[in-house]
Amino acid sequence: MKNYFIAKSRRIRSTSYTSRIENQGVTAYTVYNHMLLPAAFGSLEDSYHHLKEHVQVWDVAGERQVEIKGKDAAKLVQLMTCRDLSKSKIGRCYYCPIIDDKAGLINDPVVLKLEEDRWWISIADSDVILFAKGLAIGNNFDVKIFEPNVDIIAVQGPKSFKLMEKIFGKKITEMKFFGFGYFEFANHQHLIARSGWSKQGGFEIYVEDTKSGIALYDKLFEVGKEFSVKPGCPNLIERIESALLSYGNDMDNNDNPIECGLEKYVNLDNDINFLGKEKLKEIRSKVISKKLMGVVVDAKEISVSKSIDLVNDENFKIGELRSGVYSPHFKKVIGIAMINKPHYKIDQKFKISINDEVFEGKVCDLPFI
Amino acid sequence: MKNYFIAKSRRIRSTSYTSRIENQGVTAYTVYNHMLLPAAFGSLEDSYHHLKEHVQVWDVAGERQVEIKGKDAAKLVQLMTCRDLSKSKIGRCYYCPIIDDKAGLINDPVVLKLEEDRWWISIADSDVILFAKGLAIGNNFDVKIFEPNVDIIAVQGPKSFKLMEKIFGKKITEMKFFGFGYFEFANHQHLIARSGWSKQGGFEIYVEDTKSGIALYDKLFEVGKEFSVKPGCPNLIERIESALLSYGNDMDNNDNPIECGLEKYVNLDNDINFLGKEKLKEIRSKVISKKLMGVVVDAKEISVSKSIDLVNDENFKIGELRSGVYSPHFKKVIGIAMINKPHYKIDQKFKISINDEVFEGKVCDLPFI
């Protein structure tokens, strides 16, 4: 597949670390929340192996925050998600599908409860701030809604714990998964969560003070030398193997959380008020018409830039591949696909055309690893 | 400036014409409404000269439509814009700033009145659909809101009239600026507006039937041979010379329409109901703190990927450059800048650093041509 350049402009915002990563050899970008998100530092496979063995520092400032504060903040956050947040705690992160009144997915952020009346919605790629503003204005809620100046640094990989301990002390390694706390660096308090968009372990540093954040970015590389630290970014191979879903890629507004395997975050048997609740009850009462599943294809390469049809022996479309990559672990192409009823069963066979050649594949459960 | 590749994925949607433009030599993309928007076909200057002399066909499917239909459609559209639409007519386009309750710009679309209760908002780069959904849900409006399958083809340049006449007949040349109508091609009716993101004249074809649209795309090149047709895209030089503002580049949610020189589209002395009206009255009653203006710099090249400070002789920031380009017409760098009070006056001098070299410039009115 031919490569194309990205045309930069102010509309595609740079991050606090853009000049750093360009010096460090970033080769490709994607755009995420109107911002540059690094997509490659040379070889995807090299970066995959490195991430699984060592530690990487990622510029993921594109994960923007929507801050909601004020008397009705909790009410508004709950209105937008089908996950029950009534027992949520300050200092915890919550993965929350955000849906509209038709139960169509709008985003799948991690929600951070900063205070009872102050929340951050750490968003995937869609303007949740506009949805929140519209709802708040329409409902006459007493809230302030804005995008704070937060540029996240992710520290990911098995050696991230040792690296972070060297900078922030033992305490940071005691934090539980999806917990967050405040840690000092160079006289600034940084919100740090044990989270991140890989399954290799690690942290996300929510940098509010740009200057201190850049110093911290440099410090991570300085101290990280002994742990073979490298710059990196969310890795397509690792995230598909781990089935970390990507909004816009694997699912969109035409899908509901139940179709996407997010039942765990759909809480319907309660009296809390959120959009799409009745619709979700209706969906739950029936057999779903499509389901997000894994697929394995007997091929050695693939590049997915749009949905690719999966067909059966009769050339009938049974689903569509939405993300895919060659996995060095399985030595096959693996992917995430939306499979139609009644074909969404394990070992369902299909055919797929990749670069004008037809390959065989079969449906499987997620995650792969 | 070093170039970087764009990482493609389903999240960055392809258009109906992507395979066409890749065969035709597109070299760079930007991302617009989560979709690929061509940004270059080789030399920017060659394309600029060609656009001003001949005719180009552009894949601007990234200009997505938000369709609002139903009993409260007109009420919702009016709620989002400070432009008085009470006398709007079916078959006309309206440039409408969309603002929030603080009068901050959210988008600057062209609004098409299809029927009394059916509208298209042809958006710049932000998820207006989420704002509209939030407002509709919060206000309990009786509307349907969705993104129809519309991939716009723009036909731009002085010879666009001759080319379109050859395909659609004399009638299309009689359409007034910002009018639209339905025209037949290969048994399909296409909504065509006399509009487009250049000042060289032309049309936008709102393709709803993908297959017919692709045939039409090919037909435009076939018939266009005698008019020296070429593939193209919005041209940075042409659009800055003409001062066609770009949301996200020249203005964003931190700016209001009055600061951006859009007073013409701000209608406050009436009894219509829209967001931010009281705030705009307050803004109008005072001297604005910043203003969008033109700048001319004695330099031969520039590449603007983020705001660049403009300072006076005392090294005091008087504004920021948001878009800029070398203009072959003026043989200087020209740009669009947000200038602070009291410096937003014609001939105000400033200094600007480009690639570590300091250049002199001055403020001017928009447009340049």
Question: How are strands ordered across the β-sheet holding A202-207?
Answer: A180-185, A188-193, A202-207, A151-156, A56-59, A230-232
Q: Is the pLDDT of residue A58 over 90?
A: yes
The C-alpha atoms of residue A183 and residue A168 are separated, in whole angstroms, by: 7
First-last CA distance in chain B: 28
Instruction: Give which of A1, A4, A37, A143 to mutate to test B binding, by max B Cβ within 10 Å.
Output: A4
Window 94-123 of A: residues touching B by CB (8 A cutoff) are 100-101, 106
Q: How distant is the Cα of A296 from the closest Cα of chain B, in angstroms?
A: 19
Q: Is the pLDDT of residue B1 over 80?
A: no
CA B78 centroid distance within chain: 20
A105, two tokens: 């997915």
Torsion angle, alpha carbons of B147, B150, B156, B159, to 10: -150
The C-alpha atoms of residue B32 and residue B45 are separated, in whole angstroms, by: 22
* pLDDT of the residue at A89: 98
Axis-axis angle for helices B128-139, B73-80 (nearest 10): 120
Subunit contact A246:B6, Cβ cutoff 8 A: no
Nearest to B105 by CA among B366, B224, B280: B280
Contacts of A308 (CB under 8 A, 6+ apart): A320, A321, A324, A352, A353, A354
- Residue B70 contacts A where some CB pair is shorter than 8 Å: no
Instruction: Give which of A32, A75, A137, A151 to mutate to test B binding, by max B Cβ within 10 Å.
Output: A137
Span B98-132, pLDDT tens digits: 999 999 999 999 999 999 999 999 999 999 999 99
Q: How many residues does chain A have?
A: 369
Rg (CA), chain A: 21
Q: Which of B5, B34, B137 faces A6 most closely, judged by CB atoms?
A: B5
The answer to whether the beta carbons of residues B322 and B335 sit under 8 Å apart is yes
- Residue A274 contacts B where some CB pair is shorter than 8 Å: no
Residues of B in contact with A126 (CB under 8 A): 34, 127, 130
Chain A residue with Cα closest to B39: A7
A54, two tokens: 């060592």
Q: Residue B21 carries which side chain, given as an amino acid letter?
A: I
Question: How are strands ordered across the β-sheet holding A28-32?
Answer: A35-40, A28-32, B5-6, A5-6, B28-32, B35-40
The answer to whether the beta carbons of residues B322 and B336 sit under 8 Å apart is yes
Q: Is the pLDDT of residue A161 over 80?
A: yes
The answer to whether the beta carbons of residues B282 and B354 sit under 8 Å apart is no
pLDDT band at B44 (very low <50, low <70, confident <90, very high): very high
Alpha helices per DSSP H over A209-346: 210-224, 236-241, 277-284
Residues of B in contact with A323 (CB under 8 A): 9-10
The answer to whether the beta carbons of residues B93 and B111 sit under 8 Å apart is yes
* pLDDT of the residue at B86: 97
The residue behind tokens 């996995």 is: A327
Residues of B in contact with A7 (CB under 8 A): 28-30, 39-40
Residues of B in contact with A3 (CB under 8 A): 5-6
Other CB atoms within a 10 A radius of the CB of residue A91 amount to: 17
Q: Is the pLDDT of residue B197 over 80?
A: yes
Q: Is the pLDDT of residue A1 over 80?
A: no
pLDDT band at A312 (very low <50, low <70, confident <90, very high): very high
Contacts of A207 (CB under 8 A, 6+ apart): A16, A150, A151, A152, A153, A190, A213, A216
Subunit contact A11:B249, Cβ cutoff 8 A: yes
Q: How distant is the Cα of B131 from the closest Cα of chain A, in angstroms?
A: 5
pLDDT band at A356 (very low <50, low <70, confident <90, very high): very high
Percent of chain B whose predicted confidence (pLDDT) is above 90: 99
Question: How are strands ordered across the β-sheet holding B144-146?
Answer: B93-95, B110-115, B118-122, B65-69, B144-146
- Residue B13 contacts A where some CB pair is shorter than 8 Å: yes
Cβ-in-10-Å burial (0-12, 13-18, 19+) of B238 comes to buried
* pLDDT of the residue at A2: 87
- From residue B211, alpha-carbon distances to B11, B38, B155, B207, B223 in Å are 23, 21, 18, 9, 18
Percent of chain B whose predicted confidence (pLDDT) is above 70: 100
pTM above 0.90, yes or no: yes
Q: How distant is the Cα of B103 from the closest Cα of chain A, in angstroms?
A: 12
The answer to whether the beta carbons of residues B280 and B268 sit under 8 Å apart is yes
Residues of A in contact with B39 (CB under 8 A): 7
Subunit contact B5:A10, Cβ cutoff 8 A: no
Average pLDDT rounded to a whole number, residues B231-255: 98
Subunit contact B101:A138, Cβ cutoff 8 A: no
The C-alpha atoms of residue B177 and residue B92 are separated, in whole angstroms, by: 9
Q: What is the torsional sign of CA B260, B263, B265, B270?
A: positive
Average pLDDT rounded to a whole number, residues B225-233: 98
The C-alpha atoms of residue A89 and residue A91 are separated, in whole angstroms, by: 6
pLDDT band at A97 (very low <50, low <70, confident <90, very high): very high
Span A106-157, pLDDT tens digits: 999 999 999 999 999 999 999 999 999 999 999 999 999 999 999 999 999 9
Q: How many CB pairs under 8 A join A and B?
A: 181
Cβ-in-10-Å burial (0-12, 13-18, 19+) of B160 comes to buried
Chain B residue with Cα closest to A324: B9
Span A247-295, pLDDT tens digits: 999 999 999 999 999 999 999 999 999 999 999 999 999 999 999 999 9
Q: Is the pLDDT of residue A26 over 90?
A: yes
Q: What are phi and psi of B92, to 5 degrees?
A: -125, 150
Contacts of B163 (CB under 8 A, 6+ apart): B55, B155, B220, B223, B224, B227, B229
Span B120-164, pLDDT tens digits: 999 999 999 999 999 999 999 999 999 999 999 999 999 999 999
* pLDDT of the residue at B2: 87
* Three-class secondary structure of residue A173 per DSSP: helix
- Residue A249 contacts B where some CB pair is shorter than 8 Å: yes
- DSSP secondary structure, B312-335, as one string: -TTS-EEEEEEEEEEETTTTEEEE
- Residue A10 contacts B where some CB pair is shorter than 8 Å: yes
The answer to whether the beta carbons of residues B363 and B295 sit under 8 Å apart is yes
Q: Which of A7, A30, A130 faces B40 most closely, judged by CB atoms?
A: A7
Dihedral-angle region of residue A227 (phi above 0 means left; psi in -120 to 50 means alpha; beta otherwise): alpha
* Three-class secondary structure of residue A58 per DSSP: strand
The residue behind tokens 């604005």 is: B288
- Residue B69 contacts A where some CB pair is shorter than 8 Å: no
Average pLDDT rounded to a whole number, residues B216-236: 98
The C-alpha atoms of residue B133 and residue A150 are separated, in whole angstroms, by: 27
Subunit contact A8:B305, Cβ cutoff 8 A: yes
The answer to whether the beta carbons of residues B149 and B208 sit under 8 Å apart is yes
Axis-axis angle for helices B160-168, B210-224 (nearest 10): 120
Subunit contact B30:A7, Cβ cutoff 8 A: yes
Subunit contact B305:A12, Cβ cutoff 8 A: yes
B141, two tokens: 């409006």
Average pLDDT rounded to a whole number, residues A333-338: 98
* Three-class secondary structure of residue A253 per DSSP: coil
B310, two tokens: 């403009």
The residue behind tokens 């037949």 is: B184
Subunit contact A5:B127, Cβ cutoff 8 A: no
User: What's chain A's average pLDDT?
Assistant: 97
Span B46-88, pLDDT tens digits: 999 999 999 999 999 999 999 999 999 999 999 999 999 999 9
The residue behind tokens 């990482």 is: B7
The answer to whether the beta carbons of residues B202 and B145 sit under 8 Å apart is no
Q: How distant is the Cα of B174 from the closest Cα of chain A, in angstroms?
A: 36
- Residue A322 contacts B where some CB pair is shorter than 8 Å: yes
DSSP A222: H
Subunit contact A29:B5, Cβ cutoff 8 A: yes
Nearest to B304 by CA among B229, B249, B262: B249
Alpha helices per DSSP H over chain A: 18-23, 44-53, 73-80, 128-139, 160-168, 210-224, 236-241, 277-284
* pLDDT of the residue at B318: 98
Q: Which of A26, A138, A306 faces B138 most closely, judged by CB atoms?
A: A138
